Amino acid sequence: MKKNYFKQQSLLLFAALLIMVAMNSSCKSKAADNNSSATMANDLSIPPLFERKGELAKAEEWQNTKTKVEQLNQKIAKQSNDLKSRLQIAVIYMSEARITGEHPYYYPAITKILDGVLAMDSKNFEALVYKASVKMSQHQFTEAKMLAEKAKNINPDNAYIYGVLVDANVELGNYEEAVKVSDKMQALKPSLESYSRASYLREIYGDYPGAIEAMKMAVQAGLPGSEPYCWSKKTLAHLYEKTGKWNEAEKEYQDILAMRPSYAFALEGLAKVEKARKNYPKALDLLKQASDIMPEFSFHEEMADIYELQGESKKAKDKYLEVINMLGEDEKSGHTVSLELCRIYSKAGMYDEAIEQGTKEYKQRPLNIDVNQALAWASFKKNETEKARNYIKVALKTGSKDPELLQKATAIEQAG
């Protein structure tokens, strides 16, 4: 139903940032290299900030971030059981992971901080919520759901924990349960967080007008210029893309860049607009700009897709293999990437590998429509038509009107 990682970022990384905002009442730098497994061991030390590079280092917020972390570390040095300061650093690192794309460094670092808090207070609500969010971002959905349920039992009236539960149930394929939890979240606190999830669920069930309406409400509920606000506008733009409203999508991306010129995902969005217009050189230039800002694999995947459209199959294959290597680096840090690998291997024409990765993911969440779509396509390309039809049937079960899904479903259905 979606271009998986793009929309999963909209949902999964959304969880960490949005919970942070509401509750705040794979390249490696030298800093990362110096943090070996010994540093990340089970102790109470705080891993250092990952030093920003390039355009991101020029942002005004960066100096403020470094100053704040230094102040918090000084507090912890004076009082090691200062849980509030530890949690504040975790929140800052969650934001940095989102802004910089340095997930292989930040997710283990955040987990280490939160585990330290939970070692001192096993029922700390904030630590459980943040850890559940990190597990969502790492695509460890079953564990995320377990942590979220534990947090909910501690504080059942907190709206934001229901956001994590919506996300986890969606990724596990429990769509009806996700709708119920989403309704509960909206009843507790109508907000950017709850509207965005309502939008996502409407999209899953094929209601694009309703999804756009809800995402507009999410944008209106956000703080203009903030990262969550920009993420909401980017997601709204993506919905416009899905419905062929390319001019509206372009305007949203341009609005974002007027507020945050280094917002790499908006540059990627403009690249998609140019790709749709068959202005491939401009699209590639925009993707290069985005990839210079942060090491996000989807930017390189888009480049490979464009090379393929231009008939440069060898160049596309090489770029897909580069993406596979990037995903491998993410996997080393605890990020589950089987679904993404299944999809990329299919694009690279490596269907045995695609089915192997897709099957691995299917064993963990057989009801998820995206997993079934990926396996359906890999099976179809390998001429396993009956298997493809079984998988695509599940992928279509929510009534999604995603253009890519419907195109693939038609091809599978018409196969001999």
Write out pLDDT tens, residues 255-312: 999 999 999 999 999 999 999 999 999 999 999 999 999 999 999 999 999 999 999 9
Tell which residue, 328, 334, 303, 299, has the closest CA to residue 316.
Answer: 303
Instruction: Look at residue 61 in the predicted model and tell me its pLDDT.
Output: 87
Length of the chain: 416
**Max intra-chain CA distance, the chain:** 72
* Burial class (CB within 10 angstroms; exposed 0-12, middle 13-18, buried 19+) of 207: middle
Q: How confident is the model at residue 43 (pLDDT cuts 50, 70, 90)?
A: confident
| Distance between CA atoms of residues 151 and 124, nearest Å | 8
pLDDT one-digit tens code per residue, 237-268:
999 999 999 999 999 999 999 999 999 999 99
Helix axes 83-100, 227-242, angle to 10 degrees: 40
Give SS3 for 292: helix
Q: Is the pLDDT of residue 11 over 90?
A: no
Q: Is the pLDDT of residue 34 over 90?
A: no
- Higher-pLDDT residue of 28 and 416 is 416
**296-314 b/e (C-beta count within 10 Å ≥ 16 → b):** bbbbbbbbbbbbbeeeeee
Cα separations in angstroms, 96 against 62, 65, 185, 263, 309: 9, 9, 26, 13, 34
Instruction: Look at residue 386 in the predicted model and tell me its pLDDT.
Output: 97
Instruction: Extract the tokens encoding 327.
Output: 């995903």
* Mean pLDDT taken over the chain: 90
Q: How confident is the model at residue 42 (pLDDT cuts 50, 70, 90)?
A: low
Local structure of residue 11 (DSSP, 8 states):
I
pLDDT one-digit tens code per residue, 330-377:
898 889 999 999 999 999 999 999 999 999 999 999 999 999 999 999
Q: Is the pLDDT of residue 37 over 80?
A: no
Lookup result for tokens 């459980």: 128
HSE, CB side, 13 Å, CA atoms: give it for residue 387: 14
Q: Which of 19-28, 141-150, 236-245, 294-303 has the lowest mean pLDDT?
A: 19-28
| Distance between CA atoms of residues 227 and 74, nearest Å | 27
Q: Is CATH 1.25.40.10 the right assignment for the domain spanning 319-416?
A: yes
Instruction: Look at residue 333 in the predicted model and tell me its pLDDT.
Output: 86
Q: How confident is the model at residue 227 (pLDDT cuts 50, 70, 90)?
A: confident
